Structure 1
Amino acid sequence: IISWPQIKYDLTLAFTLRLLWGASNTALARWLPPAYEDGLSQPRGWDPSIRYNGVQLPLVREVTRKIIHVSNEAVTEDNLYSDIIMVWGQYIDHDIAFTPQSTSRITFLNGMECQMTCEKQNPCFPIKVRFLIPSREIPGSKNIKQQINGLTSFLDASTVYGSTHATENKLRNLTSKEGLLRVNVKYYDNHREYLPFTDRIPSPCAQDSNSSEGERIECFMAGDSRSSEVTSLAAMHTLWLREHNRLARALKNINGHWSAETVYQEARKIVGALHQIITLRDYIPKIIGPDAFNLYIGLYTGYDPTMNPTVSNIFSTAAFRFGHATIQPIVRRLNAQYLDDPELPNLYLHEVFFSPWRLIKEGGLDPLLRGLLAHSAKLQVQDQLLNEELTEKLFVLSNNGSLDLASLNLQRGRDHGLPGYNDWREFCGLPKLETHTDLNTIISNHNVTAKIMELYHNPSNIDVWLGGLVEDFLPGARTGPLFACIIGKQMKALRDGDR
């Protein structure tokens, strides 16, 4: 017999936990139990004496060098989709997932900086030639390490409005009677608005080497802290700032009696809905293909209160990172006739990392958006995965040197305790791959499978991000069956679990 107080307690706890589904600063969802070497927190590959199916896991930098890395010139262009498809994927990823790095950058044992040591001592997880600051963690049940999502999981335009009340209030123009968002007060783009600059001055963004010493262009401030990462992402954030303010002015014009708060909230509802429509109607079917869309997502039949919308660790750390293989090494800007402009030459990707000054001083949004719309995305080809702009010249504000995105992705998967490739295939109801011959059935480029087997020796050892990335595309898709399954399941949860 269960007492009424116990029932009330259980119901209250269940209701409280459900209210936290998808909330910011809660743990990423685990769809499979984590695979740590010590069962708690030690990443796969941490202890070189531990064997997987009789062999040591390969160093991630070796995987990058032998399988993933390709020159900037080796790019096959997508014959269907323009570069804007890549930008939308990155933008939407930043709406639903952000795993903060550990706040500690020194070893707990002897106080050495992670960048200055190759010792594997918490919290440092060195990549030979590079290093990784592990993700910020929280203890889960039985103290198993779990990682945090710093954002709301929902497709709710948190890229525009932020994921906390404090951020939202910084982004709003609270003196406006029209419910507007704050804009840049120093610069305009042909009378159109730019994002405001961050309050953190001086910000760490790059500066124009030709500008005078006193003239600084700071990082932009938006709903997501990564808005200045590359110029195309900053442009997308800027478009939605402008769209919110356009809608707010129009709504206030029609409904003069509305308060600024009502106008703001109604405009926000519309912007959020547009993010959902573009993603689920226009973007996701192109990525996973019509068959996987029907299988994993299907028609919308209304809110399902039993559906947990929390973003999963496997989605954010592996599957949705497929887009890194679709990034062009060159940034193109075009004139009003969609032709090359001698005053705005092509740039390599590393020249636009954290460089908002290029938007403000080099033509504004329009030339960049024309380039994204008029040029093809990079096709994700099995022997042309990540170009050297990403594997040799990646720049992030938290690091002094250049980084390798592919190695970071692989090491991040191990740091997060993601199970191996075959575990996830079985999770999705796909056949387990036992042999080299099995691998050849789902990867048509057999040179690639030979390189994978040379490093991993057994399909079960393959890091899930790499395995999902090299699978043959499904019909009408830009992913293989594993990533189509994971992305599909996640998108259904985000849609149906959104009250």
Structure 2
Amino acid sequence: MVWGHWNVWGSLVWFGFMFPPADLLSEKDMEVLLQATGCSSELLRPLCRTDCLSERYRSFTGECNNRQHPKWGAANTAYSRWLHPEYEDFRGAPRGWDPEHTYNNFTLPPVRLVSQEVLLTQNDDISLDTSLSHLLVEWGQWIDHDLALTPQSPSTSAFRTGVDCTRTCSRDTPCFPIQIPLSDPRTGIQSCMPFFRSAPSCVGGALAGTPPHHHREQLNAITSFVDASMVYGSSSSLAAALRDSSSRLGRLALNDQASDQGLAYMPYLPRLQGHLDPCGPRRGSVDNFTREQDNITSCFQAGDSRANEHLGMIALHTLFLREHNRLVEQLHLLNPHWGPDTLYQEARKIIGAIHQILTWEHYLPRVLGETATSQLMPTFRGYDPETDPSISNVFSAAAFRFAHVTVQPVVARLGSGYSLSPEHPSLPLHHSLFASWRVVQEGGIDPILRGLLLSPAKLQLPGQMMVEELTERLFQAQGGLPLDLAALNLQRGRDHGLPGYSSWRALCGLSVPNTTSDLADILGSPGLAEKFRSLYGTPQNIDVWVGAISEPPLAGGRVGPLLACLLARQFRALRDGDRFWWEREGVFTGAQRAALHAVSLSRIICDNTRIAHVPSDPFRHTVSPDDMLACNHALIPHLNLSAWKEPDTGNTHSTLKTGPPKDNNITDGL
């Protein structure tokens, strides 16, 4: 326990508390500090039940998925590490904290300069992906929101001086502002962009098979598993709040103030008194619209706090809210003896399996390419309790951010028949961010989904990286000075102490570039290699995210060798280390697995919207609306739920207690 106390002390320093070392504190004092900082729940080992219900349903928190390591993959635990972090000092200062600090005899370039020199792409200077739809891009972010959420420091003021981090360009934890170089067009308008360090974990990190290390670690606030936590939440209390407590069918709660032509929306969040509507139009903007209800916002409530980030995310959240409620109604018809909790849990279990199938069988082969998928993602051979499914730091802070360079600058919205419509005009991307009001006021989710189905993804090429909508206009419509997503990604990797590009190539058994010539061979672009040399001095210093996305894609895929390695390693661990993986014997019956194998995102769209024609493969780019299929086409099969029919035998499964699940770390999944 001594090393645990040491880490708590380290975290208290970072949280801004200046207390004496743990050895000088009484046990009661330590308990108070653990509770005050939130460390108590992180350090407490959960009690795991072994009854039939805990075998049948996963917990909301992810705890006890692995009975020997009950915190593996659980919410509010530290990200795992595949390489030791490289901080600037023993206290965990980020890489680049001191602009004069050298790495391999060179200083690190300002992240905004890297964004400007390597990543910035004009909106009208992009190539389109002729093979993949923009829904594939959206699905990547959707799954990312199922896997990882890094909380920022709970303090927004500098610990030492108390200055507001949004109003200072000084580096004083948790403030780690992004400096604006003198060559930047923004010079004279702003000197820096605000950036908050990620909150530290109370538990020091360790590589598999090694003793604990006391370096700074960051937290994953949600479950690592692909379990549809963005629909249901990663805590019992949130899961309960999202349910319709009056429903005898285990439904999720619906919006009682607005509907989508009779179809459901998510409930609104309450408005904080004295605050503007964060998801509504800004006063004085073109979109001058004010809500009459003062007690609510235009923001929707969901299982993930990022649900309102942009229109595509809202559309998918709404789609799976409706699909859950559709499933519980169908399951009730098959099993009228099932209580609301059984209906809820069985629908949740099916939704989780749908996400696993669509991700592993439909999404990943497009990203990695069929050859790399077969080589790096061997067939499932069963649950391995020795595999840690926790999300790795490099995956969250770098690798799975690859799709940012495939985002289109325009959000297409299409009318009935996939036609352009003045009622649903396309929007610049920055006008769709935190603009939930547009869904209710401008045609619901159907125009957004039609746009995602028919629009191609952006193609990532050297010289065509990230559109200016994301580097120059991020959150511009929300007021204040816009941010830069590329710079934020690079700064986050440095904040988390991610080693440089070459270290990750070595981890994956790939050739390590030592010279500009080596780098040019790997990237297939002498010009890009020379840009990196002028910025970083040596390939060893290149930030892993920008180096990885710069590699040319593998055959049939959309990522290069390094990203393929890192993504496959993470998704293998998520599959093999999940006791509730859908293919594991006993999780579903053989008949249920056979039925699930036919699931289709196009079918889910048909069943939960008024869209009548869809592509047979929604992740493939459909060239023309004429290529869409009617929803009753044989290639858009229904999910056959007959395999879930059970006789009414009065078993414990059919008599679960009624009402939403209660907060209890033992019966969290019930």
User: 8 Å contact 2:151–2:219 — kept in the other structure?
Assistant: yes
User: 8 Å contact 2:399–2:548 — kept in the other structure?
Assistant: yes
Partner of 2:390: 310
Runs of 4+ in 1 over 6 A off after TM superposition: 12-17, 396-399
Q: Which runs of 5+ in 1 are unaligned?
A: 1-11
- Using the alignment, how far apart are the partners of 2:384 and 2:549 within structure 1? 31
* Per-residue Cα deviation, 1:52-92 (whole angstroms, up to 9, x for no partner): 12111100000001111111111110010010001000000
Q: Which moved more, 1:428-437 or 1:107-116?
A: 107-116
Q: What amino acid is the match of 1:144?
A: H
- Using the alignment, how far apart are the partners of 2:197 and 2:86 within structure 1? 16
Alpha-carbon deviation of 1:49? 2.9
- Among 104, 115, 124, which residue is 2:175 paired with? 124
- Among 77, 92, 96, which residue is 2:147 paired with? 96
Structure number with greater Rg is 2
Partner of 1:8: none
- Among 523, 533, 537, which residue is 1:457 paired with? 537
Q: What amino acid is the match of 1:190?
A: Q
The residue correspondences of 1:188-203 to structure 2 (distance < 5 A) are 188-201=259-272, 203=277
The residue correspondences of 1:47-446 to structure 2 (distance < 5 A) are 47-128=98-179, 129-139=192-202, 140=204, 141-201=212-272, 203-207=277-281, 209-212=287-290, 214=292, 217-395=297-475, 400-446=480-526
User: 8 Å contact 1:106–1:124 — kept in the other structure?
Assistant: yes
- Using the alignment, how far apart are the partners of 2:102 and 2:193 within structure 1? 23
Alpha-carbon deviation of 1:440? 1.0
User: 8 Å contact 1:204–1:397 — kept in the other structure?
Assistant: no
- Using the alignment, how far apart are the partners of 2:380 and 2:572 within structure 1? 9
- Using the alignment, how far apart are the partners of 2:478 and 2:488 within structure 1? 14
Instruction: Give the SS at the match of 1:237.
Output: helix
User: 8 Å contact 1:288–1:479 — kept in the other structure?
Assistant: yes
Instruction: Give the SS at the match of 1:494.
Output: helix
Alpha-carbon deviation of 1:211? 2.9
Instruction: Give the SS at the match of 1:455.
Output: helix
Match status 1:35 vs 2:86 = yes
User: Residues 79 and 200 of structure 1: is their aligned pair in 2 closer, same or farther, counting only changes over 3 Å?
Assistant: same
Instruction: Give the SS at the match of 1:204.
Output: coil
Partner of 1:6: none
Instruction: Give the SS at the match of 1:218.
Output: strand
Instruction: Give the SS at the match of 2:264.
Output: coil
Q: What amino acid is the match of 2:241?
A: K
* Per-residue Cα deviation, 1:234-258 (whole angstroms, up to 9, x for no partner): 0001100010000000001111111
User: 8 Å contact 1:40–1:143 — kept in the other structure?
Assistant: no
Alpha-carbon deviation of 1:295? 2.4
Partner of 2:97: 46
- Using the alignment, how far apart are the partners of 2:312 and 2:143 within structure 1? 13
- Using the alignment, how far apart are the partners of 2:462 and 2:313 within structure 1? 26
User: 8 Å contact 1:207–1:217 — kept in the other structure?
Assistant: no
- Using the alignment, how far apart are the partners of 2:489 and 2:67 within structure 1? 34
Q: Which moved more, 1:435-444 or 1:389-398?
A: 389-398
User: 8 Å contact 2:227–2:355 — kept in the other structure?
Assistant: yes
**Which structure would you say has the larger RCO, counting Cα contacts within 8 Å and 6 or more residues apart?**
1
Alpha-carbon deviation of 1:445? 2.7
User: 8 Å contact 2:118–2:531 — kept in the other structure?
Assistant: yes
- Using the alignment, how far apart are the partners of 1:486 and 1:189 within structure 2? 40
- Among 7, 17, 20, which residue is 2:71 paired with? 20
- Using the alignment, how far apart are the partners of 2:350 and 2:213 within structure 1? 43
Tell me the number of residue pairs that the alignment of Structure 1 and Structure 2 aligns: 489
- Using the alignment, how far apart are the partners of 1:226 and 1:313 within structure 2? 19
- Using the alignment, how far apart are the partners of 2:571 and 2:375 within structure 1? 12
Alpha-carbon deviation of 1:186? 1.0
- Using the alignment, how far apart are the partners of 1:99 and 1:388 within structure 2? 25
* Per-residue Cα deviation, 1:241-295 (whole angstroms, up to 9, x for no partner): 0100000000011111110011001111100000000000000111111222122
User: Residues 434 and 195 of structure 1: is their aligned pair in 2 closer, same or farther, counting only changes over 3 Å?
Assistant: same
Q: What amino acid is the match of 1:453?
A: R
RMSD value, Cα: 2.0
- Using the alignment, how far apart are the partners of 1:398 and 1:347 within structure 2? 15
User: Residues 352 and 117 of structure 1: is their aligned pair in 2 closer, same or farther, counting only changes over 3 Å?
Assistant: same
- Using the alignment, how far apart are the partners of 1:313 and 1:397 within structure 2? 31
Alpha-carbon deviation of 1:48? 2.5
- Using the alignment, how far apart are the partners of 2:245 and 2:342 within structure 1? 13
User: 8 Å contact 2:504–2:544 — kept in the other structure?
Assistant: yes
Instruction: Give the SS at the match of 1:219.
Output: strand
User: 8 Å contact 2:280–2:289 — kept in the other structure?
Assistant: no
Instruction: Give the SS at the match of 2:131.
Output: strand
Q: What amino acid is the match of 1:32?
A: L
- Using the alignment, how far apart are the partners of 1:466 and 1:234 within structure 2? 28
- Using the alignment, how far apart are the partners of 1:206 and 1:194 within structure 2? 16
Alpha-carbon deviation of 1:399? 8.9
User: 8 Å contact 1:102–1:134 — kept in the other structure?
Assistant: yes
Q: Which runs of 5+ in 2 are unaligned?
A: 1-46, 49-63, 180-191, 205-211, 580-670
Relative to the length of structure 1, the TM-score reads: 0.95
Alpha-carbon deviation of 1:16? 6.9
Q: Which moved more, 1:452-461 or 1:284-293?
A: 284-293
- Using the alignment, how far apart are the partners of 1:40 and 1:218 within structure 2? 42
Q: Which moved more, 1:346-355 or 1:14-23?
A: 14-23
Instruction: Give the SS at the match of 1:73.
Output: coil
Instruction: Give the SS at the match of 1:18.
Output: coil
Relative to the length of structure 2, the TM-score reads: 0.71
* Per-residue Cα deviation, 1:8-56 (whole angstroms, up to 9, x for no partner): xxxx999876110000000000110010011341111112332112111
Alpha-carbon deviation of 1:492? 0.4
User: 8 Å contact 1:217–1:356 — kept in the other structure?
Assistant: no
User: Residues 158 and 213 of structure 1: is their aligned pair in 2 closer, same or farther, counting only changes over 3 Å?
Assistant: closer
User: 8 Å contact 1:307–1:493 — kept in the other structure?
Assistant: yes
Partner of 2:613: none
Q: What amino acid is the match of 1:153?
A: S
- Using the alignment, how far apart are the partners of 1:395 and 1:253 within structure 2? 46
Q: What amino acid is the match of 2:292?
A: G
